Amino acid sequence: GGGRTVVRSVLFVGAMVAVRHNPVLELFFTRLVNAGKPKMVALIAVARKLLTILNAMLRDNRPWQNA
């Protein structure tokens, strides 16, 4: 299970990039790891958050906005 393989892998790679280059998502990731979550679990949480952001962008027809 778990959904579409290609979408999942793209989101995962996107999450890895986001954690390095997006201050908001980096903070989210760091907070989860500092709270005791395994890094992989935190990375998947970032991927899910990224998916939520991307869905909202598509829904509202808006470009990416840095927070």
CA distance 44 to 46: 5
User: CB burial class (10 A; 0-12, 13-18, 19+) of residue 12?
Assistant: middle
Segments forming the whole domain that contains residue 26: 5-60
Rounded to two decimals, the pTM is 0.88
Count of structural domains within the chain: 1
Per residue in 22-67, pLDDT tens?
999 999 999 999 999 999 999 999 999 999 999 999 999 999 887 6
Q: Is residue 67 part of a domain?
A: no
CA distances from 67 to 14, 18, 31, 48 (A): 17, 13, 17, 17
- Quick one: which of 24, 29, 28 has its CA closest to 67? 24
pLDDT of residue 66: 77
Q: Is residue 38 part of a domain?
A: yes
Q: Is residue 66 part of a domain?
A: no
- Quick one: which of 14, 1, 6 has its CA closest to 51? 14
Q: Is the pLDDT of residue 2 over 90?
A: no
Residue of 66 and 20 predicted with greater confidence: 20
Q: Is residue 65 part of a domain?
A: no
pLDDT of residue 4: 86
